[in-house]
Amino acid sequence: MDKSTLFVSLEPCCFHGKTPACTDLILRERIPKVVIASLDETPEVAGKGVELLRNAGVEVVTGICASQTNLPSDIRNVFVSKKRPYIQLKFAQSVDGYMGTPGKQVWLSNQFSQVLAHKGRAEFDSILVGTNTALTDDPALTNRHWFGKSPLRIVLDRHRRLPSNLQLLQGGATTWVVTQKMLAGDESNDLLRFLELDFDEHLLENLMGLLFENRITSLIVEGGAFTILQFLQKNLWDEAVIFTTPARLGEGILAPTPMGREVAKYQLGKDALTILRNAVDCR
């Protein structure tokens, strides 16, 4: 091993938790060079893994691909440092800046963006929508176009306006219904859980705290516009994934405009995909 270079996405840990320290293994195997994409913000590590290796004579290179997304490491770092899930705001908009038409389902994605959206569902622990989106679009929010699991589905339903025949409430994956007051007949089971929370100004922080307690490390906020705006106003977001289609709606529900740093832009057929990172909290 003494001629090899180890490439890792996250700083090797230097403490014995559920498993022994990675740095011990690196030193025992006499690996002379380690290249690290992201530092680990867990308080027990936070640069100490690098320091320990350097002190032991290992050449350590950090900051590789720093401007690119390193999703697993970013999710972990947000979760341990902010004690909330990593939050992705995801929406599709027409080229003239609308997300939809009130009370009517409008498709603003092509087959490529749909596959990518489902890949995201496989990679993220949970996905959330507002009440109007659940009512208008009746989305299943399961992962059907990529391999792997479906995320935990979360729907806001302050006044229990959602009828029980919605796909979200009909199995297929686990759903949490967040409400201000449960109804008499509301009963949680393996696939459906009712959660009572105060719908006050701390709702989203309290919900994120609950997700943290349940070790849900990542969340996609899939709309609608009102719900995404609530997250933006609280600066509760880490990245925004925006699909822009060439269609023009002319009027309707205005898409939000997250003030982020553009980190990637791709063309997916006729759709454009833009990825923004939260500029207030760049890492």
Ligand X SMILES: NC(=O)c1ccc[n+]([C@@H]2O[C@H](COP(=O)([O-])OP(=O)(O)OC[C@H]3O[C@@H](n4cnc5c(N)ncnc54)[C@H](OP(=O)(O)O)[C@@H]3O)[C@@H](O)[C@H]2O)c1
Q: Is 225 in the site for ligand X (CB under 6 A)?
A: yes
Is 92 a binder of ligand X (CB under 6 A)?
Answer: yes
Tokens standing for residue 135: 């009512």
- Among all chains, which residue has been given the structure tokens 């087959």? 111
Can you tell me which of 11, 40, 222, 271 binds ligand X, judged by CB under 6 A?
A: 222
Binding mask 241-270 for ligand X (x = CB under 6 A): ------------x-----------------
Question: Using the rule CB under 6 A, is 176 a contact of ligand X?
Answer: no
Longest Cα separation, the chain: 68
The mark string for 12-51 relative to ligand X (x by CB under 6 A, - otherwise) is ----------------------------------------
Q: Does residue 179 belong to the site contacting ligand X (CB under 6 A)? A: no
Q: Between 227 and 246, how does the x/- string for binding to ligand X read (CB under 6 A)?
A: x--x----------------
Judged by DSSP in three states, 213 sits in helix
Could you tell me whether strands 98-100 and 192-196 are parallel, antiparallel, or unpaired per DSSP bridges? unpaired
- In the chain, at which residue ranges do the beta strands (DSSP E only) sit? 5-10, 33-38, 59-61, 86-94, 98-100, 126-129, 152-156, 175-179, 192-196, 218-221, 239-245, 253-254, 260-268, 271-278
Work out how close the CB of 127 gets to ligand X at its nearest, in angstroms, rounded to a whole number: 11
Please identify which residue in the block is written with the tokens 């109007």.
132
Contacts with ligand X, residue ranges (CB under 6 A): 91-92, 99-100, 102, 105, 108, 129-133, 136-137, 156, 158-159, 161, 199, 203-204, 222-227, 230, 253
